[in-house]
Amino acid sequence: MSLVDQLPLDAIDKSIINAYQDGFPLVSQPYKSIADELSITEDEVIWRLKKLKKNKILSRIGAIITPNTIGVSTLCAVAVPAERLEEIAGTINSYNEVNHNYQRSHRFNLWFVLTAKNEDHLKKILALISQEIGMQIMNLPLQTAYYLNLGFNIE
């Protein structure tokens, strides 16, 4: 039995999830338009989406923004000694400009994303963090995005 089978999802839930990971209708009544596709009522679509959000099957419903169109961002990596990991992670997280920070299994063990309103601000914050933690930060800005895969299929 796969993990998905243990979820309280029926065929209609699955078709909503599979069909609307892209192309959510951009009309006055989007849930009505989904309802018509699935031959159910608008209220049922809203009820199902609320349920899927509530049990966290859907993380959200909304616009996905292309990176670097609103402000600028970059991926940063630091190779932190194990004994300073908590302290340095805390310092990095204290910056509002940091919106993701992951510990990863690698010599470069901290990976965070910096977002700022412009390139200058980004550079300034990067230098500030580097100075505060006393370590070099590897700056890995996105150069080209190759995405065509728009969603995950559940069976």
Partner 1 sequence: MKLGNIDKEIIRLTQAGLPLTNKPYLNIAQRLGITESQVLDRVNAMKNSRVIRRIAAVPNHYKIGYVANGMSVWNIPDDKIMDYGKQIGQLSFVSHCYQRPRHPGIWEYNLFAMIHARNRDEVYELAKEIAELLGDDNHGYEILFSKRILKKTGLRI
Instruction: Scan for tokens 């970059």, then name that residue.
Output: 74
Regarding 3 and contact with partner 1 (CB under 8 A), the answer is yes
Binders of partner 1 in range 33-72 (CB under 8 A): 42, 46, 49-50, 52-53, 55-66, 69-71
Q: For the packed helices 85-93 and 119-133, what is the interaxial angle rounded to 10 degrees? A: 150
Neighbouring CB atoms inside 10 A of 89's CB total 19
Q: What is the dihedral of CA 120, 125, 127, 128, to 10 degrees?
A: 140
Q: How far is the CB of 95 from partner 1 (least distance, A)?
A: 10
Regarding 1 and contact with partner 1 (CB under 8 A), the answer is no
- Distance CA(45)–CA(51), nearest Å, equals 10
- Judged by beta carbon, residue 39 or residue 149, the one nearer partner 1 is 149
Regarding 8 and contact with partner 1 (CB under 8 A), the answer is no
Regarding 143 and contact with partner 1 (CB under 8 A), the answer is yes
Binders of partner 1 in range 63-122 (CB under 8 A): 63-66, 69-71, 75, 77, 89, 92-93, 96, 98-106, 108-112, 115
Regarding 142 and contact with partner 1 (CB under 8 A), the answer is yes
DSSP β-ladder status, 138-140 and 110-116: unpaired
